[in-house]
Chain A
Amino acid sequence: MGPTGMNPERWQRIESIYNRVLELEPGQRAAYIGGACAGDESLRKEVERLLARQSEAEHFIESPAVEMVAQALAKDQLPHAGKDPAGPVWLQSGSTLLHYRIEEKIGEGGMGEVYRARDERLSRDVAIKSLPGIFAHDPQLVARFDREAKLLASLNHPNIAAIHGLEESDGRSFIVMELIPGQTLAQRLLKGPLPVSDAVEVCRQIAEGLEAAHVKGVIHRDLKPGNVMITADDKVKILDFGLAKALAGDSQPADPAHSPTITEAKSRPGVILGTAAYMSPEQARGKPVDRRADIWAFGCILYECLTGKRAFPGETITESIAKILGSEPDWALLPAVTPLFIRAVLRQCLQKDPSLRLHDIADARVEMREELAEPPLVIPVARRFPLGWILSTGAATLVLGLVMGLAVMRYLKPAASPISQYVVRTTIRLEPGHWLDGVRLSPPEGFDHPTRTAMAISGDGRFIVYVAVKENPGEQDKPHLYLRRFDQLDAKPIAGTEGGMSPFLSPDDRWVGFWADGKLRKVSIDGDVSVTLCDAAWSLGGSWGIDGRIVFSAHPISGLSSVSADGGNPETLTTPDKTKGEGSHRLPHWLPDSKSVLFTIMREWVDSRPRVALLDLKTRKWSVLIEDAADARYVPTGHLVFLRQGTLMAVPFDLEKLQLTGRSVPTIFNVVQALNIPYTLHGSAAGQFSVSDSGCLVYASGGIMPDWQNSLVWMDQKGTGQPVASFEAPFYASRLSPDGQRVACTAMGRKFQVRVFDLNRGTADLLTDEGNTVFVTWTPDGKRVVFNWRSDGQFNLYWQPADGSQPMERLTTSGYRQDPGSFSPDGATLAFLEFRPETGEDILLLDLRNRRVMPFLNSRANEIQPEFSPDGRGMAYGADESGRDDVYVRPYPGPGGKWLISQEGGTEPVWARNGKQLFYRRQNQVWEVDVRTDTSFTAGKPRLLFEALRFAWGWPSRSWDISPDGQRFLMVKQEERKPQPVTEMILVLNWFEELRRLCPTGK
């Protein structure tokens, strides 16, 4: 652009008139302009031209440039914008052969009768369960059930009764299952409670089975003692896994009376309708169910094993449900010798609010295993207390000004202790329409959990300061600090804290330190005085010491700094030691004497397994105290409390020797923690909890960021899908082996992995388990897989035998990112991608015989997704030289022209094995093109095959594949996350009582 000719002085006149006019009432403007521009008609015109569009300009470039460019990119790829493709329909019809000899009826289950039978073909005894008559008339139901049954059949675990399959004969469907001799747990419990150690062992096995199923995304939904078999040698097997869902289909039961369990009872008049007793509160309310419903049922079973009584007994459904929704189990019935860990697990499982419940059965299983492995840590219950000890909800509300129900721990400190030391749990709801805030990560990547500690409880436990923002905030909605005094009913914003976050309190509780607008600031609790202390770009934790020094971390690559609480120049305390693999120091917390600081070390700016270290201020030296730990704080009971993968742990700590003096134990599961987030800004490792010196704990429930739960599926040419892997994982890109029998797939979650599935055997081998990897491809002989990988440096290419028999071996070395593409049919040449800033993505060729690299296509446009044709004489690839991603074919090795294959854009080409079709994707669509390569290359008109939403797309390599017969496509379906903002905190009064019991210090 040439010079504008605009004169700065003239522009200044325009500006001053313009600004003045906009301060005036509309009626006065014309007169003012006339006067100000007197004699200068062109000046007047210019001002008026601007003003004419002033209100319009308020909406101009509202969204940032990056979003506009992304929109442009999106428009390129969306020729049929606005079209709303239907979601996939899951249909798979079953096939049958009758070769079972029915022997005898052995029982009646939830859905029908059960027989012992002989599988004549496989010569084995099986159990056969008939399905309700409705299956005879509804082929769709059968098909859906068949699909589910196949998934269930993949649950291969010693604590789960295997499902062999679904069969059909004369229009009647039945399930073939593993035959398990023994009795059900329900039958066993008729004789009374189990000894505590037996109860723990039985439930540990149940937990193992549940875990294996949950890992694969299967929920039982109808777990109860009648569905648990105990064999003669005390092996536990869970029956009927997932059948409840298979029968109910994808729809959730809106009415609890429609659950299979209760249907059974209804069909048999006179039977006590007690089986609703294991139903979770959310099931009872007809709400959607996830694995936490199983965890609830598990808690019920554990309780029943220990006490011999149901946790929520009732003569009728109504009575049971009322108890489930409104009452606590009678904790007094637990045997006095019940280990404290087990009590804690039980309490976590039977939380009525699923968000507060144990999220992962693995946590219970670990506890139980430890419990069995080690001598029980039992502190006898000193006294039993009369019922009057349980505070009513109303009383709690009156006394505490708090909102919700509570549970009461009945066991007290063994030594004489004041009678008021009971533990009380209650929730603190944020003001209506508020979210807990601090650099939230929004869907679809996150749940809108804050990633900075958003709460600080006062030392005396009488108030809390927290950060909240209006729900669904826009850019203009800033968070504020709020003060909630526990003797008041509502929270009040603290003046002068707009944009504030990451609060921490002064030792005298009169000031709050916090971050706002890139500064570290402090404000008096009443909001009267607000002071800027120093610059601090990022909020990565602050702590206020008794000597008036604040230690903080303000940058994800720096160490700790300190600044006077009166403000001034910060002083650097630590610098991460790169030779020890330290990338960042953050989340500092003083020890009480203000001579040492606990802090968290991250290996890089993000780290899924941070460490807790202790800094000696005098020597400026630090050492690691606890592995796989973050955000540690000292509490006056003589413990350090810290977070490990979202579990609040406690470990005894000697304040004089500065040493750990015991083993660490879990105390609270599922505390919100910013872990497993791959973004520097968000993956802070900070936890949502705060502990008062007086013994109260406040925290938010929700855990760490879970891995994506994507599924690997076969899509047929009509867009109907069927799962390939029986479990979900953060799958990303998949490739079928040349023989079509194995699938290599990458996963990107807490761990980046390459897995190889054997489709025949149903096994999944893990090749890499560390570092990062994104794309994978096979050698034509099917012996190796090639993938890009890095630990610290750049993504380069590696290969490894597909059976994992040898470690990976490096193929290329480059300072630029590389991704694998495809092999020539003779296996001698690998086409791959390299990103160079001047030329974008380029296609390069690696000669495997001499490991030499040659360029193939390296124009300024991006050339991506190289695919050798099956005869090796052509290469399909994607390129954006037209300004849009399109698919082309070129002769290989050349020279020659290129053919445009796609119409209106396309990416990720893949050849049919016979070389007669090319398939490609255009966003949610899959297209097919007939091609001929025998004489000269010709391509037909593309045909749309199907559309499918939320499938992974690969750039710059291919994320999907095609079956050898060309009939099915291997694709990854992505999980969608919904916002789960934090709107309440949990307050535990006298938490130290519980802490001392769970983790005795020996004092």
Chain B
Amino acid sequence: MTRSSPQEVSLMLRAWRGGDKSALDELMPLVYNELRRLAHRYMTKEKAGHTLQTTALVNEAYLRLVNLKRIEWQDRAHFFAISANFMRRILVDFARSRGYQKRGRDLKKISLDESILVSPEPGAEVIRIDEALSALAEFDARKARVVELRFFGGMTEDEAAEVLHVSRETVKRDWRLARNWLLCELTDGADRDEPRTLAED
């Protein structure tokens, strides 16, 4: 595993953020519109569609960015990495702006019954995953990246493996442990104000 790749990406992200914020600004309405479109589907009880739509969204967002900034990323991995991070920020910001966080804290436990595929407080859950992910990144950056790519970026295992320059098997294992840890964090920590960590046990 090369540690340099995520660092490069974050460098680029920093340059991108610092260089011209308006590019990101241009993209947010796009993502918001997509959110509303998806939300409308849920409301009208239509089939929600599969990940392709999400990937398409990321691609659209990315392309508009490229056009605006006339940047030509040669590396597809960078594209994916940046897109996923971008989606994470926008989605979490959006969820926060809707006040989901506050309501999420009232939860006693997040139901994860297999038969219930829709989380009772999906907005709050996304914010809490984001927070837990930041905690995870402090002691295992790669697993946090895997979750970012898969969950926020909507990428497949293969795509995540390509971005991180690791094997698919590694991504599989990282994903398995990371989501297991996140689940424990979110449910066991939900009774308190702050998510609990393993080390507190």
Contacts and interface: CB of A to CB of B under 8 A. Distances in A.
A880 B98 contact: yes
B166 interface: no
Contacts of A18: 177, 180
Contacts of B195: 1
B201 A45 contact: yes
Contact of A65 (B21, B22, B88): B88
Contacts of A953: 40
Contacts of A499: 158
Closest 4 CB pairs of A and B: A72-B123, A883-B99, A70-B38, A74-B42
A443 interface: yes
Contacts of A75: 42, 122
A69 B76 contact: no
Nearest to B124: A72
Nearest to B74: A535
B99 A69 contact: no
The binding surface of chain A is classed by DSSP as loop
A870 interface: no
A681 B97 contact: no
B13 interface: no
14 contacts: A4-B139, A6-B135, A6-B197, A46-B201, A49-B201, A65-B154, A66-B152, A440-B52, A442-B47, A442-B53, A475-B50, A836-B25, A840-B97, A953-B40
A893 interface: no
B173 interface: yes
Given A1-B195, A76-B98, A680-B59, A19 B200 contact: no
Given A4-B139, A72-B121, A815-B22, A474 B95 contact: no
A674 to B, nearest CB: 13
Interface in A929-950: 949-950
A442 B49 contact: yes
B103 interface: yes
Contacts of B184: 49-50, 53
Interface of B: 21-22, 24-25, 28-29, 31, 34-44, 46-57, 59-60, 63, 66-67, 72, 76, 79, 87-88, 91, 94-95, 97-100, 102-103, 112, 114, 117-119, 121-126, 129, 131-132, 134-135, 138-140, 147, 150-154, 156, 158-159, 162, 173, 176-177, 179-184, 187-188, 194-195, 197-201
Given A60-B182, A838-B25, 11 more contacts: A6-B135, A63-B117, A64-B51, A64-B152, A65-B129, A70-B42, A71-B39, A72-B98, A73-B35, A517-B159, A837-B28
Interface in A665-709: 679-682
Contacts of A54: 176, 180
Contacts of A170: none
B183 A557 contact: no
A15 B140 CA distance: 10
Contact of B126 (A1, A59, A69): A69
Contacts of B72: 558
B163 to A, nearest CB: 11
B180 A53 contact: yes
B86 to A, nearest CB: 12
B38 A557 contact: no
Most B C-beta atoms less than 10 A away, residue of A46, A681, A861 = A681
A14 interface: yes
A838 B198 CA distance: 36
A6 B198 contact: yes
Contacts of B134: 1
Nearest to B131: A1
A1 B152 contact: no
Contacts of B57: 66
Interface centre among A45, A499, A535, A882 (most CB of B within 10 A): A535
A72 B126 contact: yes
A861 B97 CA distance: 7
Contact of B182 (A61, A556, A558, A924): A61
A71 B116 CA distance: 13
B179 A60 contact: yes
A69 B50 contact: no
A307 interface: no
Contacts of B112: 56, 59-60
Contacts of B138: 3-4, 6
A827 interface: no
B120 to A, nearest CB: 9
Contact of B100 (A46, A72, A861): A72
A235 interface: no
A924 B44 contact: yes
A389 interface: no
